[in-house]
Amino acid sequence: MRLRRFLRTPKGLLLVILVFLAALAALSEGLRQIAPGLTGAILVAALMDLVLLRYRHHRWEFPSGAILTGLIIAMVLSPHEPWYVGAASSAIAIAGKYVFRYRLANVFNPAALGLVATFYVFSPGQNWWGAVPNLMPVGLVALVATGAFIAHRVNKMPMVLAFLGGYYTLFTITAFLGDPARVAEIFRSPDLQAVLYFAVFILTDPPTSPVRYPDQVVCGVTVALVSFGVFELIGAAYYLLAGVLAGNLWEARRRAVAWAHRQPAASLPAKEGSHFHV
């Protein structure tokens, strides 16, 4: 009964979808190839979160969020990387979730933070095999269908569309004004699948993304601008992940400002005759 209820939640649905995509990708990548990195990333994330949740809440809890984090990390990293690269990324991701917090939510998307941090330690390859780029066209259809479903389920479709619209507009303008060959890869596989995977499964992370539609649009455009800027100025493989971390910072600041504006109003005495007067 508990399992059935969990599988109906956004986390449960996302877990089912990612496991399905990982299994689909294993057909082309090979189970033996992806197993070490996948296992290392998930186990480290789950065990760390299990202990930390027990310490904080004084009870055992299923580390569903950590398993999702480990899955995403492994599905972004190249399966040819040693298993400990994914494990280290997961360790940083889970630690960052508890260190960088504002009120009750973490500031940064854990998977993005872990992947960017370990890039400067191991310089790992990121081929986004979990986006199923090698199974055209079946993989693309599966990615779009499952991604659209989860984006709608967590009510983040405006942010996804704002990001994709801004992202491809910027690179299209660049292609027309400069050398199209420099940005041609953005419009082709596997980059196409990587961007879609990023937009629907990483950008839409509920704890680190806005709820209101206008805020989602601003955040999506911000992520597109930063991703484009990092690609053009630095050329780093983590340009999408850098974009979402910038979007996380924007959202954390917006929440802090909104909370600060609510506090003075909440502290004022209620007017006479008000239902809240005590």
**C-beta of residue 135 within 8 angstroms of C-beta of residue 25:** yes
pLDDT in tens, 233-244: 998 899 999 999
Span 252-258, average pLDDT = 93
Closest C-alpha to 52, from 63, 41, 64, 40: 63
Beta bridge partners of 77: 126
Pairing of strands 105-106, 101-102: antiparallel
- Domain-wise residue ranges, the chain: 2-264
> For the residues of 27-46, what is the DSSP string, one character each?
HHH-HHHHHHHHHHHHHHHH
pLDDT in tens, 189-208: 999 999 999 999 999 999 99
Neighbours of 30 (CB within 10 A): 11
- pTM of the predicted structure, to 2 decimals: 0.91
pLDDT at 272: 44
Spatial neighbors of 222 by CB under 8 A, at least 6 apart, are 243, 246, 247, 250
pLDDT in tens, 10-53: 999 999 999 999 999 999 899 999 999 999 999 999 999 999 99
pLDDT at 277: 37
Q: What tokens appear for 172 in the block?
A: 């299209």
Q: What's the pLDDT band for 278 if we cut at 50, 70, 90?
A: very low
Which CATH number does 2-264 carry? Answer: 1.10.3430
Q: What does the alpha-carbon distance between residue 258 and residue 251 come to, in Å, rounded to a whole number?
A: 10
pLDDT in tens, 114-157: 999 999 999 999 999 999 999 999 999 999 999 999 999 999 99
**C-beta of residue 73 within 8 angstroms of C-beta of residue 114:** yes
pLDDT averaged over the chain? 92
Q: What tokens appear for 132 in the block?
A: 């199923």
Beta bridge partners of 18: none
Closest C-alpha to 242, from 200, 201, 198: 198
Residue at 249: amino acid letter = L
Q: What does the alpha-carbon distance between residue 231 and residue 229 come to, in Å, rounded to a whole number?
A: 5
